[in-house]
Structure 1
Amino acid sequence: MRLSDAEILDYINEDLPYFDLTTSLQDIDKKASLEIYSRDEICVSCVDVAASIARLLGCESEIFVKNSQICKAGDVIIKIYGSYEDVHKAWKLAQVTLEYASAIATYTNKMSKAAKSVNEKCEVLATRKSFPFAKKFCVKAVLEGGGGMHRLGLSDSILFFRNHIKAYASFDEFISHLPEFKAKMVERKICVEAENLDEASKLLKAKCDVVQCDKFSPELIKNVLALRDEISPNTMILAAGGVNLANAKEFAAADAIVTSAMYSKGVADISARLEIL
């Protein structure tokens, strides 16, 4: 997955709409290099974007750690070369890109490894609750961390929440419409969120494609899985609501874990050092 030059230029122009006021005062005609390195063990993401930032600002770069690779504290991720002024333009734009993307990727990677240590078939899926105005960036980081996407948005998948079901007189009435919904969207899986074991049981009896178990305990998830195996073996069971790195192993019996946790982990510990050539 890649970000286009046009998308990256929009990001550059937010920080550099005209010129760098600080370096314009110095009038230094020298070359410089910038090493961006990790201060912790992380899963690197968007290093290709950092390289594109450098290129679009007139610099060259050398990548030492590729996307999805794990680097250790002290490892150089990318080195940028160019004029003193251009390297300064690229510096924070490239570093901040790596910091945010690698934080998402690192958390996703750790959570995925935790889940798969219990159930190798359990996938960690990120919700659509990405940063506003940065969906593509967040999706890229999740994928490079080894996770998948639960939903990219409203237009790519079907998921009925409690607020959708309120339009019907009862949960049973809503379920009676599932065959009708399926007939209209024959190529799509229909996912319905269940808030308790009774709702999950009714959805399984109706052969719902996917049951998303919201805020179920690990024990209840296992009960749903046992019921699924008995009456609707083709139904996928998702564990959602409050699942994160700390408890991922407890919910890993599910077919997949749905989470937004990777979006709220701040930035990876990444730094930079500049050298005048």
Structure 2
Amino acid sequence: MYISDSEILAYIAEDLPYFDLTTSLQDIKKQAVLKIFTREEVVVSCIDVAARAAELLGCEAKILIQNTQTAKTNDMIVQILGSYSNVHKAWKLVQIMLEYTCKIATYTNQMTRLAKAENEKCEILATRKSFPFAKKLCLKAVIEGGGGVHRLGLSDSILFFKNHIIAYASFDEFLAQIPSFKAKMPERKIAVEVESLEQAKELLGAGVDVVQCDKFSPQMLENTVALRDEIYPNARIIASGGINAKNVAEFARTNIDAITTSAPYAQGMADLTSKLEILD
């Protein structure tokens, strides 16, 4: 996941549109070093982006634990060296970015491990419900946590919801359009979200590529997988709606292909801390 300097500079400009009013009063000409530690075990994510932000602010950054690696409690993950004023400019920008991204990566990793322990083929896919204006960082954190991406956005995939289907006179009328949809987009999979086992059965009969089962119970998912195996083995069955680290193993056990979730985005921030030292 490439994040350009211009994107990082835009992030910096949100917090530093002109200059640091506080350090400008001090007029301190010394060097400083900022050390960022974790107070809990985390999967490190976006450490390269955080380091680059520090470099663009005139500092040197030393990455001590790389993306996708696990940092233990009290481990230092990055060190930033520069002038006193520049280190202060980088301080919260870097720490806050890492607090969010490491938390997303850590939770994604937890869900992935729990799912894979029950069903090796079951993928954890993050939804489009990332933080506004922070999609790249969120997706990068998910990927570095071992997860995948459900949809990058409206332009990369086809997924029909109830709000699309109500445009037709009936569900049967919608089903009749599936061959036309597949002919118009031969290189794309046609996915449809359903809320009942009966609709899932009808979609499989119509040759839909992906059946996304919204808020199905584990038993309903097992039934859907059995129908898939009987009617259209090439289809993929995905579970969505309310799945998180507490219940992911139960859903993965149903032999579905993937789970879509927004849970990694809703876990808050990792418990990181920092220490600034003045150098002689």
TM range (shorter): over 0.9
TM-fit CA distance, 1:233: 0.5
TM-fit CA distance, 1:2: 2.2
1:137 aligns to what? 137
2:191 aligns to what? 191
TM-fit CA distance, 1:184: 0.2
TM-fit CA distance, 1:36: 0.6
Return the alpha-carbon distance in structure 2 between the equivalents of residues 2 and 61 of structure 1. 19
1:265 aligns to what? 267
1:162 aligns to what? 162
Q: Secondary structure at the match of 1:143?
A: helix
Residues 1:222 and 2:222 aligned together: yes
- Whether the 8 Å contact between 2:37 and 2:76 is mirrored in structure 1 is yes
Listed as ranges, the gaps of 5+ residues in structure 2 are none
**TM-score normalised by the chain length of structure 2:** 0.98
1:99 aligns to what? 99
Please show how residues 1-20 of structure 1 align to structure 2 within 5 Å.
1-20=1-20
Amino acid in structure 2 at the alignment position of 1:25:
L
Return the alpha-carbon distance in structure 2 between the equivalents of residues 233 and 111 of structure 1. 26
Q: Secondary structure at the match of 1:73?
A: coil
Return the alpha-carbon distance in structure 1 between the equivalents of residues 168 and 11 of structure 2. 45
Aligned length: 277
Return the alpha-carbon distance in structure 1 between the equivalents of residues 240 and 71 of structure 2. 30
Return the alpha-carbon distance in structure 1 between the equivalents of residues 235 and 243 of structure 2. 21
Q: Secondary structure at the match of 2:74?
A: coil
TM-fit CA distance, 1:235: 0.2
Listed as ranges, the gaps of 5+ residues in structure 1 are none
Residues 1:240 and 2:278 aligned together: no
Per-residue displacement from partner, 1:150-177 (whole Å, max 9, x unpaired)? 0011000000000101011111111111
TM-fit CA distance, 1:61: 1.0
2:114 aligns to what? 114
Root mean square deviation, CA, Å:
0.7
- Whether the 8 Å contact between 2:178 and 2:207 is mirrored in structure 1 is no
**TM-score normalised by the chain length of structure 1:** 0.99
Per-residue displacement from partner, 1:88-109 (whole Å, max 9, x unpaired)? 1110000011001111111111
- Whether the 8 Å contact between 2:34 and 2:91 is mirrored in structure 1 is yes
1:171 aligns to what? 171
Amino acid in structure 2 at the alignment position of 1:255:
D
Per-residue displacement from partner, 1:201-237 (whole Å, max 9, x unpaired)? 1011112100000000011101100111111110000
TM-fit CA distance, 1:24: 1.0
Return the alpha-carbon distance in structure 2 between the equivalents of residues 236 and 206 of structure 1. 14
1:45 aligns to what? 45
Runs of at least 4 residues of structure 1 off by over 4 A?
none
How high is the sequence identity, in percent, across the aligned residues? 65
TM-fit CA distance, 1:28: 1.1
Return the alpha-carbon distance in structure 2 between the equivalents of residues 2 and 141 of structure 1. 12
1:36 aligns to what? 36
